[in-house]
Copies of this chain bind each other. A is one copy, B any other.
Amino acid sequence: MPPRSSSRKPPVPPIPTAAEVDILAVLWRLGPATVREVHEALGKDSGYTTTLKQMQLMLDKGLLARTERFRSHVYESRVPKDQMQQRIAGDLLRRVFEGSAKELVMGALGAQPASAEELADIRHMIDAFDKKKRGSK
């Protein structure tokens, strides 16, 4: 019979909840890390086992992957950062901004003004997208 088990890993994991996103963000920043490391990095005042349990559930949901290392477990994001960020941004885009990327950018820049360098970067990125669009169509 097929393996067994309580830990199923959906091919495409769900959009993470707020708390889960925080954990993912830490893992993206640190790279593969133990529960302890993540817990410290979070800096929240909830208990260690809370973080542990959350990460175990995220494992079940297919959000995290886990490898054994010596005495403890090492977790990492199961879907690459870019891809997950894209999904989250896309989800928000559709639901909150009626699919208008312009409004999303407006909201983001309004909330937290970017530096001149970053603005330039963004401009370049837009150009690249534009070029690709014209090229392919």
Contacts and interface: CB of A to CB of B under 8 A. Distances in A.
Q: Is the interface of A mostly helix, strand, loop or mixed?
A: helix
A112 B98 contact: no
A134 interface: yes
A86 B109 CA distance: 8
Interface string A19-31: 0011011000100
Interface stretch (A61-69, A71-79, A120-128): A120-128
Q: Give the number of copies in the complex.
A: 2
A88 interface: yes
Contacts of A91: 111
A108 B96 contact: no
Contact of A21 (B89, B95, B122): B95
A90 B111 contact: yes
Contact of A100 (B98, B102, B118): B118
A59 B92 CA distance: 23
A44 interface: no
Contact of A133 (B87, B105, B116, B126): B116
